[in-house]
Amino acid sequence: MEPFCSHYDICGGCQWQHLSYEAQLQHKETNVRNALQRIAKVPIGEFLPILPAPETQYYRNKLEFAFSNRRWLTTEELEDKSTPLFVDVLGFHKAGAFDKIINIDHCWLEPEPSNLIRNGLRELGMEQGLSFYDTRAHEGFLRQVMVRVSTVGETLVLLSFGEEDEPRRIAYLDAVLERFPQITTLIYCINTKVNDFVLDLDMHTYAGKGFIEEQLGHVRFRIGPKSFFQTNSRQGEQLYSIAAQFAGLDGTQNVYDLYTGVGSIALYLAKDARQVTGIEEIEAAIDDARENALLNNIDNCTFYAGDVKNILTPEFAEKHGKPDVVITDPPRAGMHPDVVKLFLQLESPRIVYVSCNPATQARDLNLLDEKYRVEKVQPVDMFPHTQHIEAVALLVKR
């Protein structure tokens, strides 16, 4: 199959464009099945067909790009001695090449105005004669940009500058606002560090309210520049609906939501639960969770910041009551062995395990087999044209 993106050969972001979407789904479903058979080695009550993404293009709500004065060159370009080595570009890092950027003209991952804004930011930088970042020398004015869009029509742009130059910064930001009235919130930060990580930096709102809003089903979310949020909004809503269906809530249950992030699943389930308690290691995410609870007038959710293995103790369960349902959505590494042990002690009647890594999910299901049977598994495709796959498993106490 012919890839639809002109950058496919060198970008590497959407590795599976050469496969039909049907073939991608089949491969991902097989991947989950194999992990369950070879690693979990437990009986599966019902293996449901993979849930396709409603959109296979322009499905992401967030992308990050880097400015650079060095463009990634193909072998042919390197062999051509007339090819300039220094060219101002804005795009993605080439895998394995920290100091070179692939200039992106059109990316099929995020809907407009993403492409319009990225290309315009590059043009404005060149028009104003601003320096694009040099990763080797660790110098340059324009460094990074993050674009967030929402399904309710709001757009957040975060610009990272490699140095502070107030007159140039103001002139550039004003030009950005003038050219792109679609931007509802414009934020900047100054990053003079060697690394590109910006979440530990002060954020300055230049225009707008400092966040955008997103709607997932009946829940409204405020998303700021540092917020952790489901990257595929529309399919994220489907994922949460499956989690809600598997949880089987009727308003009487005490629910624990582990690795809760910004509390997305907790807040989505709250209307059907007696109470929900969320735990998340990243404190900024818990701040967002609490704020979003207030935004939605949800008063039966309590959130704790800290490592799940340290917070989820028998004493914690005594304080908050034993859970009727546990939702767990761990990172790719899966759950810590101590957390699995506590699951076996808590003996919650139902566990809903949301995973982005079939191998570690299967490993944990094997460990939980001592007291739980796997009633259902539902693979969900969140990221078309990539190898990534999510799966939701319902475990019921024996």
Residue 80, exposed/middle/buried by CB under 10 A (0-12, 13-18, 19+)?
exposed
Calpha distance 310→85 (Å, rounded)? 51
CATH of domain 8-56+232-397: 3.40.50.150
Q: Is 62-216 in the same CATH topology as 8-56+232-397? A: no
Catalytic, out of 5, 107, 189, 356 = 356
Out of 3.40.50.300, 2.60.120.10, 3.30.200.20, 2.40.50.1070, select the CATH number for domain 62-216: 2.40.50.1070
Cα distances (Å, whole numbers) of residue 173 to 142, 191, 296, 323: 11, 16, 33, 50
301 is an active site residue: no
The predicted model scores a pTM of 0.93
Tokens 């818990």, located at residue: 286
Cα distances (Å, whole numbers) of residue 330 to 97, 231, 375, 384: 30, 16, 20, 21
Residues in the chain: 398
Alpha-helical regions (H) of the chain: 8-11, 21-35, 75-79, 114-127, 166-179, 233-247, 264-269, 283-295, 308-311, 314-320, 337-346, 358-368
Residue 194, exposed/middle/buried by CB under 10 A (0-12, 13-18, 19+)?
exposed
Per-residue pLDDT tens digits of the chain, which is 398 residues long: 899 999 998 888 899 999 999 999 999 999 999 999 999 999 999 999 999 999 999 999 999 999 999 888 777 777 777 777 788 999 998 877 777 899 999 999 999 999 999 999 999 999 999 999 999 999 999 999 999 999 999 999 999 999 999 999 999 999 999 999 999 999 999 999 999 999 999 999 999 999 999 999 999 999 999 988 999 999 999 999 999 999 999 999 999 999 999 999 999 999 999 999 999 998 989 999 999 999 999 999 999 999 999 999 989 999 999 999 999 999 999 999 999 999 999 999 999 999 999 999 999 999 999 999 999 999 999 999 999 999 999 999 99
Position 280, amino acid: E
CB 164 within 8 A of CB 201: no
Domain ranges of the chain: 8-56+232-397, 62-216
**β-strand 44-47 against 97-103: which pairing, if any?**
unpaired
